[in-house]
Each structure stands twice: as C-alpha cells, then as structure tokens.
Amino acid sequence: MKLLAATLTAALVVALPAPASAAPPGFDPLTGLGRRATAVATTATAAAGWESLGGTAISQPAVTSDSTGRLDVFVIGADNALWHKSRSAGRWSNWESLGGRLTSAPAAVSSAPGRIDVVARGAANDVLHLSYADGAWSSWESLAGPVIAAPGISSRGPGRLDVFAVGTNREIHWKSFDTTWSGWTSLGGYANSLPSATSWGPDRIDVVVAGTDEEVYQKSFTGGAWSARWTSRGGALASAPALTSTGEGRLDILAAGHDANLWRKSLRGTWSGWSSVDARLNSAPAATTSPAGVEVMAIGNDDAVWHRVLPVS
C-alpha cells in the first residue's frame, strides 16, 4: 500500500514463500469475485481437515458468528444473488437465496444473537445493506458510493455498525451506524484489496487491507480516534486478508499465499510471524471467532464452500 507520508521499517516486513508451482487463488482481491474455468476435485483441502458445505460460489465467502455458537455463511451464487447457509445446535441448514443483484463478495457481522448485517456492492457500484432481526430479513438499502471493491463490516456492540469501502481513489472510507448512519470519512491509504474489519470492544476497531506490495496493512480506532498511519504487518500474499478477534487485545489475520495455502499471523500481546496452515484454497479466506475457535471459510477447487476450525492458540 502506498501511503501518504508513510515510512515502512524492515522489521515489519516478513516474507511468505515465493510463488510455487500451484496457481494463486483465482478471485479478484478487490471485488472478491472469481471462479475456476474448470472445476476440479478438491483433495488437498479435504485431506487438511476441512469439511465441504457444498454450493457453487462465484465469490469468496463471508462468515459471522454470535455468542451462542451459531454460524452464518454467505456467498454470491452464479445468479449474482446472495446465498446463505447457517449452523445452529450443530446442524447445517440448506442453502437459501436472499436475492439481490450484487457485484462483489459479501461481508457480514452479528452484533447480538438474532441479529445479522450483510453488506456488498450493488449494480450501481454503491454499498448495499441487508439485515436480519426478529426472525426476518429486511429489504436491501443503499449506503451510497461509488466504490470499487467489496465492503467490510464490523460491530462494536448491539445496534452499532462500522462499514468500510474502497473509493475510486483507492482510499479506504468509513461509515458508521449508531441510531443513524454517518456520512463517509476517508481513512487514507491506497488499497489493493477489499477491507476486512473486526472489533473487540466498544472503543476498538481494527481494519486490514492488502497493499500494492502484497503486504497487509492495519489501521486501528481507539480512544475515539484513528491511528495516524497504516502499519505494515508484512507478508507476500495472493489474496485479500481476513481479520478476526478472539478476545480483547487478540487479533488473527488470515490470507492465501502464492502457494495457495492458508497463512496466519496472530496478535497475542505482540505479533507472531506468519505460519502456514496446509490447504488448497481457490479464494481468499473468511474468518470469525466462535466458542469452538477461529472458524475459517474459503472456496475450494470445486467452487464449493469449505470450512475448518483453527485453535485460538
């Protein structure tokens, strides 16, 4: 990411493996859309302990969880509509269509049990918002634009939302909801991927994107203000990053490397290095935290959604 007046330090640059014989994920890092020209059997993913959730996706997935352990997974189907599958009490539902005519991958967050908010880019290049509450889905509403990438979303608590989008100038823009929607505010930067965001408390937000140098960059909101600069967390990644929090002061960044494996970097007081989780991904991952651990979703080489739980560590 080429940041205004940014200075990178060598200590923050941690290289992942150079491109291997395997092709990197085939999904666009900005829109999160893509698909293999020819579906092939997924063997490496299954061997690595992943489970298939089926479906045929043309976008990287989104996933969210609540305090009860419920999981909700979203993808864009071949009809450009939003598709949804959930797990409650250990049982997966069938896939259902939630409609829409979308032009990016979705992002989702659950701010309380029984509440889900989903955002994606619409046909007019605006950010569209859909919510689930009181047992029913709303209609789509526009949060304006224009944007050139899939948006990200996080929540600092019940009734509060933070949405992130990449503008036509490649800067990251932020819009929040607390009773009413704010306007869009630029957070600067120069994004080469869609953003991913998470919150571990009412006064903390973290957002990450990939830069043009394939490194991950992070910006944080705390004490009522955003950090002055985007900070490099290193890497040499082939996909947009996913971000989740496993508790106060704890973050996990996940992304696909050029070897098509899943890579992970964790904050536990200090940042770890990047470590590999063997897999064969065909998209950027999505991640959320549940009582079981870090729940990871990605598209496999068969265009289906695959799921794995990683230990919190």
Q: DSSP string spanning 34-79?
A: ---SS-----HHHHTT-EEEE--BSB--EEEE-TT--EEEEEEBTT
Domain locations in the chain?
10-310
- Domain 10-310 homologous superfamily, CATH: Fucose-specific lectin (2.120.10.70)
How many CB atoms are closer than 10 A to CB 182?
A: 12
Calculate the alpha carbon distances from 229 to 138, 154, 186 in Å. 37, 20, 13
How many CB atoms are closer than 10 A to CB 206?
A: 22
- The residue written with tokens 């043309």 in the block is 58
Least Cα distance to 164 among 259, 230, 257, 114 occurs for 230
The predicted pLDDT at position 39 comes to 39
Is 280 within 8 Å of 261 (Cβ atoms)? yes
Is 300 within 8 Å of 42 (Cβ atoms)? yes
- The residue written with tokens 């060598």 in the block is 10
The predicted pLDDT at position 35 comes to 67
Full pLDDT tens readout for the chain, 313 residues: 333 333 222 222 223 233 233 334 468 999 999 865 433 334 444 545 889 999 999 999 999 998 888 999 999 999 999 999 999 988 999 999 999 999 999 999 998 889 999 999 999 999 999 999 999 999 999 999 999 999 999 999 899 999 999 999 999 999 999 999 999 999 999 999 999 999 998 999 999 999 999 999 999 999 999 999 999 999 989 999 999 999 999 999 999 998 888 999 999 999 999 999 877 788 999 999 999 999 999 998 889 999 999 999 7
H helices then E strands: how many in the chain? Answer: 1, 29
φ/ψ (deg, to 5) at 46: -65, -40
Is 60 within 8 Å of 105 (Cβ atoms)? yes
Q: Give residue 31's Cα distance to chain centre.
A: 11
Taking the C-alpha atoms of residue 100 and residue 87, their distance in angstroms, rounded to an integer, is 23
The predicted pLDDT at position 18 comes to 30
